[in-house]
Amino acid sequence: MLGRIRREAENITINRTGILGVQSISTQYESVARPLDSLGITEIQYAPQGAQTASLQLNTLLTHTLEEGHSSQMSLDVMQNLTGNIPFSGIIDYGAEKIYFSEGYLETYSVSCGIGEVPQTSTTSTIFGDFGTGVLFSEYAQGPGLIPSLNIPSYSSMEVNLDEFSSNRMTSFSVDIATPRIPIYTLNADKPAKVIAGTPIEVNVNFSLDIDDYKIKNMRFVPDETVFRNATITLKKNNSDTTLLSYSFDNMLLTSESFKGGAESNAVANFNLRSFILR
């Protein structure tokens, strides 16, 4: 029967944990089959060339977190825990069908929020293991997933620790973490023998301020008087002092600043902080 799959019939589970607050899921793979080119050919033949991988992108509202003290995880955000060395597997349900995937590794993690918004996370991952549907993937069938608790932070319940905010009002922020991966392949195998965590991890933090007394730095002083900052962003449960998530980075380099003013708007400053973490 002709029909459509509605949003309530779509969900994703990663490492036996339900991912809630999902706004969009995107996943794909591309064939590595390429035509063979040689003298005297009478028909086109194909052979695999290159490693076969798939990709997964998730955009979620940060509305659900793990319980405090769950397992030995470092963060209450399921996806933030995957920025380390941990691979993941999972299932995407859509109607009566399922897409299975294994040996996924997170490559980028972003969180952002502005006034009047619920914080949102975005991730991109590479699948080095298996990906697809059907009976061949029955071994990846997972039991009922852990359901994170409803904990909604808001723009009014977050704290930012940075010198410039003592007299200047933050209107938005974003944190972007890039975690490179290096697959190691061997002969007689179509999957990597291991996936090494690349180094360094690049972290970018962006802020927008309604400024009062913020001073733009002198670009001619770079790099002789390079400006470093320690930044801590704490997300608390709405109308509560309960801390849900915290992002803390030391010795971040001030890499850019901008100023914008208009007849119908407040003066705004935007700046970027960047750091590299060795692992």
pLDDT attached to residue 2: 46
Token pair listed for 177: 């973490």
pLDDT attached to residue 9: 56
pLDDT attached to residue 56: 95
- Most confident range (mean pLDDT) of 153-157, 220-224, 275-279 is 275-279
Rounded CA-CA distance 11/220 in Å is 52
**Tens of pLDDT along 17-61?**
888 888 999 999 888 888 888 887 788 888 888 888 999 999 998
| More confident: 195 or 240 | 195
Inter-CA distances, 5 with 2, 10, 13, Å: 10, 8, 18
**Tens of pLDDT along 147-164?**
677 887 877 777 888 766
Inter-CA distances, 117 with 61, 63, 109, 131, 201, Å: 10, 12, 19, 34, 28
Q: Cis ω on the peptide bond leading into residue 35 (within 30° of 0)?
A: no
Per-residue pLDDT band at 16 (split at 50, 70, 90): confident
| Among the listed residues 97, 99, 109, the one whose alpha carbon sits nearest the alpha carbon of residue 129 | 99
Average pLDDT, the chain: 82
pLDDT attached to residue 1: 43
**Tens of pLDDT along 75-124?**
778 888 898 888 999 988 887 788 899 999 999 999 998 888 888 999 99
